[in-house]
């Protein structure tokens, strides 16, 4: 064990911030600490850094902090530097312990310094600048470089991705994955956590709970624990009621008095099961369907040039009903311009474009959330949907985290993120069939983002959206439009798939990109029934051969998908059956553990086969010549 806190408590100003926490770092683990704002995450980092001490506790003999050896700890704070008259070079080398400029160690230090400095987007000439000449975000980067060069045994990072662009964050992810020491971080960037950490500590109610796995795995595991504890709590409440009913029924009957006493003692002996705290995130189980279905093709364009005075990009593509398309690209590439053009807010510069029949648009951008009203949230919402009862209004608002007192707040006093959430709730409730969204989750906390992710996943209409939140992008978008160097590419899989494909294709270009114009042609031909294509002689022998090859790959792909689903269901059923059995709650060993492990290995192997077949299918699709 590299570092361990046992039954630790931290107080400040007479208030307990952390209460009897247990925390440990094993080897070179990458750990994230998550929790709501004000829960005490930064306090924990300060405790590990040695800036705070544990409260004295005479009741517990073994409580305190233990370490495997004397450790070096680096702490990246959100306020990076106090002395800003130094140059970057002076600051970096002030921490270097290798004074001999010609030593091998000094050479390696300087080489690593160059890699990190350019990796974070700086020019080599920037090394001579004073720290005061850099923005707050750039100073944070320089402070991080200094800590990474020192390679402490434990590196503490407080919001390391703040002020970083996506390319730099991706570079940092790869660097941390190869970093050989332990890292403990606090971050609201969920995708970053998924890419870098293997342990999650949740800080809630002043205590810590350890979860193995990434952020996504932690969320799934937490939901499962809540579900199981809820079932155990409900079973115990039923048993207590049954025993108490028997006591009440027989306690006044002389010949049943002993029986009643026995049942009362049995009820008293039940080990209490605490009622679990409900997950703060609201999940949408039922589909959110548009009021009007709309036509099959939602939006079509041909050689559409978008921009203002000069074109930013040219697109020829179609959006099919039900697609959820995320847009990715650098600032100024034309992402928001495309949304405004599709929504009819600005005209295209040239080319043709049109909406399908009976398409109703719900448009959102940052200006949409600048609503002003002295009415309460409930009154404002009810005015928009007057046919609803007050109970229905409260129920719907509660699903979007405006429950109880929140619904009674005046709209004017809501934060920017809360106003955006309210407007998005209004949009979804109005049931358009085409949502066009520009940065819908800006300034929102994690529980608000996850609530909206659930809502957009439940929505059965069409979505075209821009977001810099990569986790939100990956969870909602089923395909991507990628703006890159005045070109637009269509990618038919999720952001996570695109990122993995990009990493594999480094150095040779991204083979998985398809021009939007090519995609439109493919979609157009596939929209024609095959029998009609043959009758009109619109399919060549080469295309027929390609279709045949695609069909073979697709058949294998669908079989592999069915195999993954079947094994996954078997694994889930097996573990659920065990966790709901008496043996689980009594602490007995699981007799099916070895069989379950074998099923997991089979599922992982089937998943690998399915993934490789996905890529094979996509490579065949790229080879199709229209």
**Mind listing the pLDDT tens digit for each residue in 391-448?**
999 999 999 999 888 999 999 999 888 999 999 999 999 999 999 999 998 888 888 9
Residue 274, in any domain of the structure: no
At 157 the three-state DSSP class reads: strand
At 558 the three-state DSSP class reads: helix
By the 8 A CB rule, do 450 and 281 touch? yes
> Among 67-81, 324-338, 599-613, which range has the highest average pLDDT?
324-338
Of 465, 499, 526, the one marking the end of a domain is 526
At 435 the three-state DSSP class reads: strand
By the 8 A CB rule, do 70 and 50 touch? no
The 10 Å Cβ neighbour count of residue 604 is 12
Residue 501, in any domain of the structure: yes
Residue 288, in any domain of the structure: no
Distance CA 138, CA 130 (A): 12
Q: Are residues 558 and 475 in the same domain?
A: no
pLDDT for position 452: 94
> DSSP string covering 195-233, please?
HH-SEEEEEETTEEEEEES-HHHHHHHHHHHHHHHHHHH
153 vs 492, more confident: 153
pLDDT for position 600: 79
Q: Are residues 227 and 114 in the same domain?
A: no
Q: Which of 3, 2, 5 is nearest to 63 (CA)?
A: 5
Model pTM? 0.73
Residue 292, in any domain of the structure: no
At 344 the three-state DSSP class reads: coil
Residue 385, in any domain of the structure: yes
Of 186, 215, 244, the one marking the end of a domain is 215
Q: Are residues 463 and 354 in the same domain?
A: yes
pLDDT for position 197: 95
Question: Domain limits at 232?
Answer: 220-269
The 10 Å Cβ neighbour count of residue 95 is 12
Q: Is the pLDDT of residue 347 over 90?
A: yes
What is the total residue count of the chain?
626
Q: How confident is the model at residue 59 (pLDDT cuts 50, 70, 90)?
A: confident
Distance CA 599, CA 568 (A): 8
Q: For the chain, how many structural domains are there in total?
A: 4
Residue 290, in any domain of the structure: no
Q: Are residues 542 and 519 in the same domain?
A: no
Q: Are residues 261 and 196 in the same domain?
A: no
pLDDT, tens digit (0-9, with 9 covering 90-100), for 578-592: 777 776 666 667 777
Q: Are residues 225 and 210 in the same domain?
A: no
Helix or strand (DSSP H, E) at 319: strand 311-320
Q: Is the pLDDT of residue 507 over 70?
A: no
Q: Are residues 134 and 227 in the same domain?
A: no
Q: Are residues 548 and 474 in the same domain?
A: no
Q: Are residues 482 and 611 in the same domain?
A: no
Of 151, 181, 215, the one marking the end of a domain is 215
Residue 316, in any domain of the structure: yes
pLDDT, tens digit (0-9, with 9 covering 90-100), for 463-473: 999 998 999 99
Q: How confident is the model at residue 363 (pLDDT cuts 50, 70, 90)?
A: very high
By the 8 A CB rule, do 1 and 153 touch? no
Q: Is the pLDDT of residue 38 over 90?
A: no
Q: Are residues 500 and 368 in the same domain?
A: yes
Residue 168, in any domain of the structure: yes
Average pLDDT over all residues of the chain: 85
Q: Is the pLDDT of residue 164 over 50?
A: yes
Q: Are residues 265 and 313 in the same domain?
A: no
- Give the CATH number of the domain where residue 127 resides: 3.40.50.300
**Under 8 Å CB-to-CB from 196, ≥6 apart: which residues?**
30, 32, 173, 176, 177, 183, 185
563 vs 201, more confident: 201
Q: Are residues 193 and 153 in the same domain?
A: yes
pLDDT, tens digit (0-9, with 9 covering 90-100), for 182-209: 999 999 899 999 999 999 999 988 899 9
pLDDT for position 514: 47
Calculate what percentage of the chain has a pLDDT beyond 90: 43
């Amino acid at each position: 064990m590299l570092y361990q806190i046992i039954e630790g408590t931290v107080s400040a100003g007479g208030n307990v911030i952390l209460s009897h926490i247990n925390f440990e770092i094993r080897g070179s683990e990458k750990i994230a600490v998550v929790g709501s704002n004000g829960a005490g995450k930064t306090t924990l980092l300060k405790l590990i850094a040695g800036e705070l001490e544990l409260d004295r506790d005479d009741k517990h003999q073994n409580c305190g902090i233990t370490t495997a050896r004397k450790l070096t700890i680096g702490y990246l704070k959100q306020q990076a530097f106090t002395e800003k008259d130094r140059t970057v070079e002076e600051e970096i080398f002030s921490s270097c312990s290798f004074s001999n400029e010609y030593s091998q160690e000094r050479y390696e230090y300087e080489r690593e310094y160059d890699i990190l400095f350019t990796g974070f987007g700086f020019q080599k000439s920037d090394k001579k600048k004073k720290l005061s000449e850099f923005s707050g975000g750039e100073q944070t980067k320089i402070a991080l470089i200094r800590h990474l060069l020192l390679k402490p045994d434990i590196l503490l990072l407080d919001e390391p991705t703040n002020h970083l662009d996506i390319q730099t964050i991706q570079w940092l992810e790869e660097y941390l994955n190869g970093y050989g020491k332990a890292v403990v971080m606090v971050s609201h960037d969920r995708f970053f956590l998924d890419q870098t950490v293997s342990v999650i500590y949740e800080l809630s109610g002043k205590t810590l709970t350890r979860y193995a796995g990434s952020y996504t795995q932690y969320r799934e595991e937490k939901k499962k624990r809540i579900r199981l504890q809820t079932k155990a709590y409900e079973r115990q409440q039923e048993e207590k009621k049954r025993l108490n009913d028997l006591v009440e029924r027989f306690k006044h009957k002389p010949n049943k008095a002993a029986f009643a006493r026995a049942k009362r003692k049995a009820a008293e002996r039940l080990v209490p099961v605490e009622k679990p705290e409900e997950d703060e995130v609201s999940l949408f189980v039922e589909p959110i369907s548009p009021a009007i279905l709309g036509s099959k093709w939602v939006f079509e364009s041909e050689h559409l040039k978008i921009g203002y005075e000069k074109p930013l990009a040219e697109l020829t593509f179609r959006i099919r009903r039900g697609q959820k398309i995320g847009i990715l690209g650098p600032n100024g590439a034309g992402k928001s311009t495309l949304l405004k053009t599709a929504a009819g807010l600005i005209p295209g510069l040239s080319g043709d474009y049109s909406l399908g029949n009976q398409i109703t648009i719900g448009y959102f951008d940052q200006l949409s959330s600048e609503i002003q009203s002295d009415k309460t949230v409930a009154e404002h919402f009810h005015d928009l949907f007057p046919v609803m009862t007050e109970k229905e209004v409260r129920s719907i608002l509660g699903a979007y985290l405006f429950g109880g007192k929140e619904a009674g707040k005046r709209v004017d006093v809501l934060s920017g993120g809360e106003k955006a959430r309210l407007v998005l709730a209004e949009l979804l409730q109005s049931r358009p069939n085409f949502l066009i969204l520009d940065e819908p989750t800006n300034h929102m906390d994690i529980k608000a983002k996850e609530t909206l992710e659930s809502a957009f996943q439940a929505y059965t209409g069409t979505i075209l959206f821009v977001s810099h939140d990569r986790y939100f992008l990956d969870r909602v978008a089923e395909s991507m439009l990628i703006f890159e160097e005045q070109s637009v590419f269509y990618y038919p899989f999720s952001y996570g798939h695109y990122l993995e494909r990009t990493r594999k294709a480094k150095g040779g270009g991204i083979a998985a990109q398809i021009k939007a114009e090519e995609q439109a042609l493919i979609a157009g031909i596939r929209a024609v029934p095959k029998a009609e294509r043959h009758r009109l002689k619109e399919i060549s022998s080469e295309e027929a051969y390609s279709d045949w090859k695609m069909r073979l790959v697709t058949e294998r792909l669908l079989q592999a998908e069915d195999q993954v689903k079947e094994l996954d269901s078997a694994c889930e059923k097996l573990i659920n059956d065990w966790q709901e059995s008496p043996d689980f709650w009594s602490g007995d060993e699981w007799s099916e553990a070895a069989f379950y492990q074998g099923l997991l290995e089979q599922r992982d192997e089937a998943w690998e086969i399915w993934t490789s077949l996905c890529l094979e299918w996509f490579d065949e699709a790229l080879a199709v010549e229209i």
